[in-house]
Amino acid sequence: MTELDTGVPHSARVWNYWLGGTDNFPADRAVGDEFAKLYPDIVVVARSSRAFLKRAVTFLAGEAGIRQFLDLGTGIPSAEHTHQVAQAIAPDAQVVYVDNDPLVLAHAHTVLSAEAVYVDADVRDPASVIASSGLDLAQPVGLILMNILGHIPDLDEAVDVVGTLMQTLPSGSYLVTADGTNVVDGPAFEAAIAVWNANAPLSYHLRHPDELARFLDGLEVLDPGLVPCASWRPAGDEQRPTDEYGAVARKP
């Protein structure tokens, strides 16, 4: 098993800290606190993002009838993550988590169960992701890309990754995606992101919603469209709108 380096901040553990979890260490909390001093809304962003994921997966497993989920760059699954939400509605739902970070994969040994599968693959290699997923490509899939595409610096490359994945999946599949933006409180968020990029090995890049909309090209975007995560079909669990936009779209 890969040994965890707890002295270096890690995005999955910092995100876990902002969500109020316990799978984090002093280095994670230190950069998380420094980030939050510059951009206090990051805690709202994290919790709004998780609530959006819950609502989107609830829709897919319920009304849309999806029984296969492919969650890329998932980090460390915690409360109300994809497999828990989907299987609470449809116990036979299959969930495959994908990450290629050795720290996450090492930590995965403590969270793997019969309810989900963890695969070592790189989102930038869509063919490898699909091949290693073990999913039945004759049946629709719910593709989850939450806060992962911002880690791909080149927008065109990120768009190509999403396009290739969705082209491989059958008609009736869905995309759930959300990433950080720079339109609500852009300067503060950009300043905090600069702190993150100076302290962590994996950089992140905020994008305007017009850029994020390119991930949805060729898909049927569900109402209310690409919106702040808190505004996507709110159900009483929403935070106020912040700089993260999300959408759910169907492959025709």
Contact, 86 vs 61, CB < 8 A? yes
pLDDT digits (tens, 9 = 90+) for 7-65: 777 777 888 888 888 778 898 899 899 999 999 999 899 889 999 999 999 999 999 99
Domain spans of the chain? 11-250
**pLDDT band per the 50, 70, 90 thresholds, residue 129:** very high
Provide the pLDDT for residue 92: 95
- Token duo for residue 149: 């595409």
* Contacts by 234-237, CB closer than 8 A, 24 or more apart: 234/55, 235/55, 237/51, 237/54, 237/55
**pLDDT band per the 50, 70, 90 thresholds, residue 125:** very high
Q: Give the 3-state secondary structure of residue 167.
A: helix
E strands, 40-103, are: 68-72, 94-99
What is the CATH code of the structural domain delimited by 11-250?
3.40.50.150
Q: How far apart are CA 221 and CA 231, in angstroms?
A: 15
Q: Name the nearest CA neighbour of 95 among 106, 85, 105.
A: 85
* In the predicted structure, residue 2 carries a pLDDT above the cut 70: no
